[in-house]
């Protein structure tokens, strides 16, 4: 049996006719940038995330960069984040000339550890930091109560990296609505993915939202008049139209992901694999949307090889923590500085979780994993 890690073709088949119809409308109108679809998408996604305002931009990476720009982050400023995340979280800091300061993760959720955050803010390396970027990794929100409390105490701006967590909630509050700004990605592999690249920034402060709108169009509020130095980062009408079609399916697809995750958990327990495989840990107050289904596994690399030999797709998010990346060598970090992030990089493996998985496919994945540990 072949089981893909992700099947975008099945997703496309479900929305193809509607998406192509809406794309044709955009082409017929010949209005491709910041039009009606963008405006409506911003309203719909602000409502979904439970934020007051939403600003569409060109990508999730741009969302992070623009968020930091809007908050006044300048060259030399320190911004704290996790080393266990996709590159753009820290890359957005560096590209502005600011300094990424890393803190370790909670080994259960893989999200930023508030205790480590507080500790670094009292340390020379983090003292005087201007902002923190907690990442809502794999579809589950970070501990925002603790993080916001610390941020208030140390006068930090809070940028939620919610690229993997659209629709997720924390104690009833939406991902992207709990910090100063929230940042989303609509890369095709996300739960809500477009036909290319697009992103979004959410905010509850009107002035901040207006600043973001100006920054995304070269710092111009009025044509050819520039009050700020901004960038060109606009979500286009075609991507916005596609996302509005996808959005109608999002809850259905999210429900299927959660159903698949629960089935994995039951099957792992039934197969008596608890000592070999640790399924995702979801806090009781969190509603996870399972952008990825990430397990901890003994002999991870050999298990992955075994899965591949049996036709099962998997992925490692992320094999090398950011503090060990060559481009961040000048920051002075070394192996062993963040043991939980490094351990996660060696033990975690993402299994298929997409909405169109069949029960027999999930059963096959678990059986192949069970077979591996029985002979290894």
DSSP string, 184-219: EE--TTSSS--SS--EEEEES-HHHHHHHHHHTBTT
Q: What is the band of 352 on the pLDDT scale with cuts at 50, 70, 90?
A: very high
List CB contacts of 148: < 8 A, sequence separation 6 or more: 158, 178, 179
Query: Any idea where the domains of the chain sit in the sequence?
Result: 8-244, 250-375
For the cut 90, the answer to whether the pLDDT of residue 345 exceeds it is: yes
Q: What is the band of 132 on the pLDDT scale with cuts at 50, 70, 90?
A: very high
Q: Which of helix, strand or coil describes residue 318?
A: coil
Q: Please give the Cα distance from 231 to 197 (Å, whole number).
A: 16
The two three-digit tokens of residue 329, written as one number: 């060598």
Check residues 130 and 376 and name the one with the higher pLDDT: 130
For the cut 80, the answer to whether the pLDDT of residue 376 exceeds it is: no
pLDDT in tens, 209-263: 999 999 999 999 989 999 999 999 999 999 999 999 999 999 999 999 999 999 9
The torsion angles phi and psi of 17, rounded to 5 degrees, stand at -60, -45
Q: Please give the Cα distance from 370 to 350 (Å, whole number).
A: 16
Q: Please give the Cα distance from 173 to 162 (Å, whole number).
A: 13
For domain 250-375, the question of CATH label 1.10.10.1200 is answered with: no
How do beta strands 173-174 and 348-351 pair? Answer: unpaired
For the cut 90, the answer to whether the pLDDT of residue 39 exceeds it is: yes
The two three-digit tokens of residue 137, written as one number: 């990794």
Q: In 3-state terms, the chain is what percent helix, strand and coil (to 5)?
A: 45, 15, 40
Sole residue written with tokens 């009408």: 237
Chain centre distance of CA 366: 26
pLDDT value at residue 22: 97
Nearest Cα to Cα of residue 40 among 56, 28, 22: 56
Q: What is the band of 207 on the pLDDT scale with cuts at 50, 70, 90?
A: very high
pLDDT value at residue 192: 98
Q: What is the mean pLDDT of residues 119-145?
A: 97
Tell me, which fold does domain 8-244 have in CATH? 3.40.640
pLDDT value at residue 178: 98
pTM of the model: 0.96
pLDDT value at residue 274: 87
126, burial (CB in 10 Å: exposed 0-12, middle 13-18, buried 19+):
buried
Q: Please give the Cα distance from 134 to 341 (Å, whole number).
A: 14
Check residues 168 and 34 and name the one with the higher pLDDT: 168
Q: Please give the Cα distance from 230 to 70 (Å, whole number).
A: 10
Q: Please give the Cα distance from 374 to 376 (Å, whole number).
A: 6
pLDDT value at residue 72: 97
Q: What is the mean pLDDT of residues 119-134?
A: 96
Q: What is the band of 375 on the pLDDT scale with cuts at 50, 70, 90?
A: confident
Q: What is the mean pLDDT of the chain?
A: 97
Give 47-95 as a DSSP string.
HHHT-SEEEEES-HHHHHHHHHHHTT--TT-EEEE-SSS-HHHHHHHHH
pLDDT in tens, 70-103: 999 999 999 999 999 999 999 999 999 999 999 9
Task: Give the percent of the chain with pLDDT over 70.
Answer: 100
Let me know: does 193 contact 246? Beta carbons within 8 Å.
Answer: yes
Let me know: does 205 contact 157? Beta carbons within 8 Å.
Answer: no
pLDDT value at residue 158: 98
**What burial letters (b/e) apply to 223-232, b meaning 16+ CB within 10 Å?**
eeeeeeebbe
CA angle (169, 173, 176) in 5-degree steps: 80
Q: What is the mean pLDDT of residues 194-208?
A: 97
Nearest Cα to Cα of residue 103 among 128, 133, 136: 133
**What burial letters (b/e) apply to 306-342, b meaning 16+ CB within 10 Å?**
bbeebebbbbbbbeebbbbbeebeebebeeeebebbb
Radius of gyration of the chain (CA): 21
Q: What is the mean pLDDT of residues 154-158?
A: 98
């Amino acid at each position: 049996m072949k089981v893909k890690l992700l099947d975008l073709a099945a997703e496309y088949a479900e929305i193809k006719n509607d998406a192509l119809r809406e794309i044709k409308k955009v082409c017929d109108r010949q209005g491709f940038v910041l039009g009606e679809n963008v405006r409506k998408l911003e309203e719909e996604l602000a409502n979904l995330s439970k934020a007051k305002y939403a600003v569409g931009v060109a990508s999730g990476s741009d969302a992070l960069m623009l968020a930091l720009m809007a908050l006044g982050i300048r060259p030399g400023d320190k911004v704290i984040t996790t080393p266990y995340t996709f590159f753009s979280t820290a890359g957005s800091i560096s590209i502005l000339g600011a300094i990424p300061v890393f803190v370790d993760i909670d080994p259960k959720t893989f999200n930023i550890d508030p205790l480590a955050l507080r500790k670094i803010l009292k340390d020379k390396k983090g003292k005087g930091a201007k902002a923190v970027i907690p990442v809502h990794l794999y579809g589950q929100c970070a501990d925002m109560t603790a993080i916001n409390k610390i941020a208030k105490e140390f006068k930090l701006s809070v940028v939620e990296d919610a690229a993997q967590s659209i629709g997720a909630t924390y104690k009833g509050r939406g991902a992207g609505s709990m910090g100063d700004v929230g940042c989303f990605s609509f890369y095709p592999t996300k739960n809500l993915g477009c036909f290319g690249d697009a992103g979004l920034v959410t905010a509850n402060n009107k002035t901040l939202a207006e600043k973001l709108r100006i920054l995304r169009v070269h710092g111009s509020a009025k044509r050819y008049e520039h009050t700020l130095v901004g960038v060109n980062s606009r979500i286009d009408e075609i991507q916005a139209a596609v996302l509005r079609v996808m959005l109608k399916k999002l809850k259905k697809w999210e429900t299927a992901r959660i159903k698949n995750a629960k089935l994995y958990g039951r099957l792992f327990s039934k197969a008596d694999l608890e000592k070999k495989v640790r399924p995702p840990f979801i806090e009781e107050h969190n509603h996870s949307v399972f952008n990825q289904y990430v397990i901890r596994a003994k002999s991870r690399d050999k298990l992955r090889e075994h899965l591949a030999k049996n036709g099962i797709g998997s992925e490692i998010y992320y094999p090398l923590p950011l503090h060990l990346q060559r481009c961040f060598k000048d920051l002075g970090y070394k192996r062993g500085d963040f043991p939980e992030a490094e351990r996660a990089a060696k033990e975690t493996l993402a299994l298929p979780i997409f909405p169109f998985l069949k029960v027999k496919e999930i059963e096959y994945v678990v059986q192949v994993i069970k077979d591996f540990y029985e002979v290894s």
